[in-house]
Amino acid sequence: MSNAVAKAKAGSLIRNPKSFQSLFGTVMTGIAGACLGIALVPLFAVLIYVLFKGAARLNIDLFTQLPPTAGQTEGGIASAILGTIMVVAIATLIALPFGVLAAIFLSEFSSGPVPQWIRFATNVLSGVPSIIAGVFAYSLIVLATGTFSVMAGAIALAVLMLPTIVRTTDEALQIVPQDVRWASVGVGASNYQTALKVVLPAALPAILTGVTLAIARAAGETAPLLFTVIYTNNWPKGPFAPTLPSLAYLVYEFARGFDKVLQEFAWAASLVLVFLVLITSVIARWATRQKTY
């Protein structure tokens, strides 16, 4: 008798495939899948088009020679690649410690309404157009020093990177269970030691994801550099030089002209920039392979 009852209960849990709930779930699943396909169409369209237009200039010279000038047919984008790496690296060195420490303070040491207001301000800052960051760096640094500089461009990019780093680090720290903190304090660790030696390492994979996303955004920004540096086809000279070769800036300069050869190099630089962003995304996925709390 008990087996019959159990079978009856198990049968009652099986939904009739012709019922309204099942049909509604199937239809909504189909609509969600169609929306996913529509969302992926522009992504793959952009990637395929950039690959098609930029592949014509993919050769060893593209990564070893200087960009051409008007009238030249040969050259490369080696200086722009190095310039992009240099300015993004400087911006990361500026934004990373401030962003991580600010997130640690928000998550571990602050209380009351202050953290909520700071998080709100961070969300607002993340929505500020990049050109505003360029104007900010221009007014604060370029006008004050009387000259353009790579450092001014790096500071503008760091302003854009800060919200992403603060938000992702704050969220990653909050994911770590409170029991971990209590266990650390219970064995005699101070709050400072718990935050830096227990909580922060546990959230490190998610923090690296936010950092790589911020780097990807900074690498593709052009507007802040328009106000802070002067484009050049030469090799980068240093963090305080007024000139900077950059992939995003090169695309802007070459694509707006009428020289077909320079436009081809602009497409090639766009393709390389897409690959750099893809590499940062792969690094983010690799960093998050570890299981976090």
Q: What is the CATH number of the domain that holds 165?
A: 1.10.3720.10
Residues 6+ apart with CB under 8 A from 277: 216, 219, 220
- What gap in Å lies between CA 272 and CA 252, rounded to an integer? 14
Residue of 286 and 264 predicted with greater confidence: 264
Indicate whether 12 belongs to any domain.
no
pLDDT bucket at 15, cuts 50 / 70 / 90: low
Indicate whether 45 belongs to any domain.
no
- What gap in Å lies between CA 96 and CA 165, rounded to an integer? 7
Residue of 171 and 13 predicted with greater confidence: 171
Tokens, residue 39 = 């969302």
pLDDT bucket at 86, cuts 50 / 70 / 90: very high
Indicate whether 154 belongs to any domain.
yes
- What gap in Å lies between CA 240 and CA 151, rounded to an integer? 6
Indicate whether 18 belongs to any domain.
no
67 DSSP 8-state letter: P
Give the number of other CB atoms < 10 A from CB of residue 198.
17
176 DSSP 8-state letter: S
Q: What is residue 4's predicted lDDT score, i.e. its pLDDT?
A: 54
**Selection from 94, 67, 232, 234 nearest residue 152 by Cα:** 94
105 DSSP 8-state letter: I
| Residue span of the structural domain in which 245 resides | 60-287
**Selection from 288, 290, 243 nearest residue 80 by Cα:** 243
Looking at residues 23-40, what average pLDDT do you find? 89
Residue of 65 and 23 predicted with greater confidence: 65
pLDDT bucket at 8, cuts 50 / 70 / 90: very low
Q: How many domains does the chain have?
A: 1
Indicate whether 124 belongs to any domain.
yes
- What gap in Å lies between CA 50 and CA 277, rounded to an integer? 14
Q: Is 69 helix (H, G, I), strand (E, B) or coil?
A: coil
- What gap in Å lies between CA 150 and CA 211, rounded to an integer? 21
Give residue-wise pLDDT tens across range 212-263: 889 988 988 889 999 999 998 889 888 899 998 899 999 998 988 888 889 9
Indicate whether 137 belongs to any domain.
yes
- What gap in Å lies between CA 233 and CA 258, rounded to an integer? 18
What are the two backbone dihedrals, phi and then psi, of residue 291, each rounded to the nearest 5 degrees? -80, 125
Global confidence as pTM: 0.83
